[in-house]
Structure 1
């Protein structure tokens, strides 16, 4: 007997669509049975006419906890995630303090317990003190993060030699190292030449060349050390070209973000600081190239880079655009923005699941539990009704940022139910029940 049986839906996995009824027991998918097959369950849910998707896995989010909780915290961020169909959030290590030691990682795990509405996997930062890595590995973070530009010196790996040295420290470790591609020399040189702080100078300081250099450096270093890497936030034609030519060199994956698939630098004129993030928005030509790469299957993961700030921080009168804090919310709108791509015909639902569920789960060490609807996997499930439209609205946003750059956008489907470990946590756009998320660690 199942705890719950979801009948009548169309199952969407990365490898395609299939019909089946989902039997849930003890928080897991116990079985996928033939449609209408006799089965007993404590609760039966009719999902006729709907799609059933695995819960999304956002591989790049900043929940701001601890230390920056006026911007977001574990509770508010995962609440937003749950409403948006994200049942697993992979949290970046750039809080206050940065998650650089085993003690800081353990403290962060403890802070999150009992407060999260989605599962959370924690990422650790690679600092210049490489001796910290073995003890961090003992805690099985889902990944490590290595920065090549625009961070404090204690976490900066600005040259090929330094990146390779850091990756060598992971020799023999079954883990993944995320690398944010950039070029500190280009950033420093541009900032020295133009101190105006304008939008134009911000764009010039982070050109596509810096991204391409960072991608090439990461792949060469990974190839020389046999490290597994994940390249963050590709967003330019030159970056796409560099990635497509060199990606076979190493065990590597790449991500982009919804904002880089929809917005261009011209949108700074209408949304201003609300769209400021790093890397910056690019030209329409770059967006076209990125979309073509997505459609061609060259992009492995779409993640949000959810990085909210308090409304007052974004609205303050700064002396220059460059002084405005960078980052925007995205957890609550990941599914909606991906459905917009489905509506446009750029991708199909299985590709959505591939880039936002299966691939992030597999790359970040959760592939035996997350990212697909199959027996033995966590019963993290979404019910999506294609007969009803939904509209993204600022007023509905839970993040402490208080807005979304996608305000007013409509998609041709509605998320009606979200399940986490077999328990319904969202119904018709509202959170139901207490925080039930768990800290998840990398599978060994």
Structure 2
């Protein structure tokens, strides 16, 4: 066999079924060889992993880069550096920028803002609102968009939520286009009633915000979204599912043939509603985390395969914006950073016996690549796939610090939270972009990915 560009040896290889001793070799950015160390071909570079585990490169399909439009919060350059530091080799950008990605003009503006700045590979989701239904055919067919995002409740004024009639018409169109809908499912009506009651009580503390997002708001909206997906035949993902009951609804629908998947998020498994008393605005996001009983059941359902994939929902705001919520939680915006810590939350769970590494591979790369049209290049450790690797050290234990964060956002609810199991090296198409706390990649190396037609 001719010389390879790179070999990773001395570690273990993880796939969706097992973790085993092997070395892996790279040529021209692709996986070219997997085998035993005693029959390794020659390579220009050999990295000894000293027992660490090589996972397929993590894909995070739920990132709010805030670029263009809100770059005081985050920008694409820093956001993709943060992704690399979190072990993420591919990111998919959500459409809540300014302008929101709901027109060709906005898509071109985002593409221009991203060009030449990425440290990891990336794709772009587009959005659907009542104003762009007529554009979706051309926008989907003449772009490489990876999914179509919708809200069933208010989020930000720049990106209006869809009423039931718009949701239904849009899903009909998505079915005809063979596109993928990604849906924030919370009932606007239930949220309104809950918020009116909490505000009338005069409460402005952190836990008061969670009271405005009861479980029923998500459960009702998931049931309605599933019904519309079933009626229209569209494919869809329910984003950041926060309730065990929601996961059960999605599994039941899937078993009767509805084309629906469940995303969940790391903060829903790390924190509970009790943490709002201490962290308040710095843990304000939606849908909210709930009680410990719900979280425990979510862990159990995850272990049984009810969560299809993990998305960090990385959504940073400035410290000043969040500080407004210290006296009145309703003045703080919704969203927290998370791409740098997402994988660590679940590696910690592996150490605690809640998950296995093969289960994690399914949720962090394998299924995600297939849902969003990026396979087989992404999402697998297989000959011919892109040489995207996330190297993890299950024995590394630490609490992340502000100084370590590569994101433009230097605060995080995870600061001071000790986790065991961290990504220590991130390799994109055969190039090391992050190693042991340092960015080694080149700005602009990340490639713009477009879904397969």
Please give the TM-score of this superposition, normalised by the length of structure 1. 0.95
Whole-angstrom distance in 1 between the partners of 2:316 and 2:41: 45
Q: Which residue in 2 is equivalent to 1:312?
A: 320
Tell me the CA shift for residue 153 of structure 1. Answer: 9.1
Matched, 1:157 2:162: yes
Partner residue of 1:36 out of 10, 35, 38 = 38
Q: Which residue in 2 is equivalent to 1:281?
A: 289
Please list, as runs of the form range in 1=range in 2, the aligned pairs for 1:71-110 lying within 5 A after superposition.
71-110=73-112
Q: Which residue in 2 is equivalent to 1:134?
A: 137
C-alpha contact 1:9 1:20 (8 A) present in aligned 2: yes
Question: Alignment RMSD, CA only?
Answer: 1.9
Matched, 1:384 2:392: yes
Whole-angstrom distance in 2 between the partners of 1:439 and 1:173: 22
Please list, as runs of the form range in 1=range in 2, the aligned pairs for 1:355-370 lying within 5 A after superposition.
355-370=363-378
C-alpha contact 1:197 1:321 (8 A) present in aligned 2: no
* Structure 2: gaps spanning 5 or more residues: none
Question: 1:52-104 CA deviation, whole Å, 9 max, x = no partner?
Answer: 11111112110100000000000111111101101111111001111101221
Alignment coverage as a number of residue pairs:
443
Partner residue of 1:205 out of 192, 208, 212 = 212
Whole-angstrom distance in 2 between the partners of 1:7 and 1:174: 41
Please list, as runs of the form range in 1=range in 2, the aligned pairs for 1:295-444 lying within 5 A after superposition.
295-316=303-324, 320-435=328-443, 436-444=445-453
Q: Which residue in 2 is equivalent to 1:15?
A: 17
Whole-angstrom distance in 2 between the partners of 1:305 and 1:399: 14
Whole-angstrom distance in 2 between the partners of 1:431 and 1:380: 16
Q: Which residue in 2 is equivalent to 1:178?
A: 182
Whole-angstrom distance in 2 between the partners of 1:365 and 1:188: 36
Whole-angstrom distance in 1 between the partners of 2:360 and 2:235: 24
Whole-angstrom distance in 2 between the partners of 1:441 and 1:118: 14
C-alpha contact 1:328 1:401 (8 A) present in aligned 2: no
Tell me the CA shift for residue 123 of structure 1. Answer: 0.6
Whole-angstrom distance in 1 between the partners of 2:220 and 2:158: 20
SS in 1 for 2:293: helix
Tell me the CA shift for residue 332 of structure 1. Answer: 0.6
Question: 1:92-143 CA deviation, whole Å, 9 max, x = no partner?
Answer: 1001111101221122112101111111111100121311102211112111
Tell me the CA shift for residue 401 of structure 1. Answer: 2.3
Deviation >4 Å, runs of 4+: none
C-alpha contact 2:94 2:126 (8 A) present in aligned 1: yes
Tell me the CA shift for residue 396 of structure 1. Answer: 1.0
Q: Please say which of residues 146-155 and 176-185 is displaced more in the overlay.
A: 146-155
C-alpha contact 1:80 1:397 (8 A) present in aligned 2: yes
Whole-angstrom distance in 2 between the partners of 1:197 and 1:59: 35
Q: Which residue in 2 is equivalent to 1:269?
A: 277
